[in-house]
């Protein structure tokens, strides 16, 4: 019974460590997003909106901070190049793509 208890404790601890590791990875990715944008756009308040909603259309993201869709799209494309977001186009020249955090 003692060996079984130790085994169960080990499994619980292992699961807890895995959860902490995933939380740390999420935070590291958020820091990378903010760093990429902060280096290029000092007024990156729209990134907080993206963090909050996870999936949002470009126009709604721009309206949330009063920025132009063109400016935000340029920064979002930097995040996409870094592998931190996906830009989902709904047609070849979609003026309002969906932005998704990874």
Report the CATH number that the domain containing residue 49 is assigned in CATH: 1.10.10.10
Please tell me whether the overall predicted TM-score, pTM, comes out greater than 0.85 for this model.
no
Domain that holds residue 75: 2-101
Q: Largest Cα–Cα distance in the chain?
A: 65
pLDDT at 42: 58
Cα–Cα distance, 68 to 87 (Å, whole number):
17
Helices and strands (H, E) in the chain, number of each type: 4, 3
Per-residue pLDDT of the chain in tens (102 residues, 90 and over written 9): 799 999 999 999 999 999 999 999 988 888 888 777 777 765 677 888 898 999 999 999 999 888 889 988 988 998 899 888 999 999 888 899 999 998
Q: Are 75 and 81 in contact (CB under 8 A)?
A: no
Domains contained in the chain, number = 1
Residues in the chain: 102
Q: Are 33 and 75 in contact (CB under 8 A)?
A: no
């Amino acid at each position: 019974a003692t060996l079984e208890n130790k085994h169960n404790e080990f499994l619980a601890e292992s699961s807890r460590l895995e959860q902490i590791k995933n939380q740390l990875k999420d935070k590291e990715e958020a820091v990378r997003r903010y760093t990429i944008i902060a280096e290029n756009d000092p007024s990156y308040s729209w990134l907080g909106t993206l963090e909050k909603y996870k999936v949002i259309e470009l126009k709604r993201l721009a309206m949330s901070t009063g920025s132009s869709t063109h400016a935000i799209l340029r920064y979002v494309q930097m995040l996409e190049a870094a592998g931190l977001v996906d830009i989902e186009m709904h047609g070849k020249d979609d003026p309002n793509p969906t932005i998704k955090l990874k």
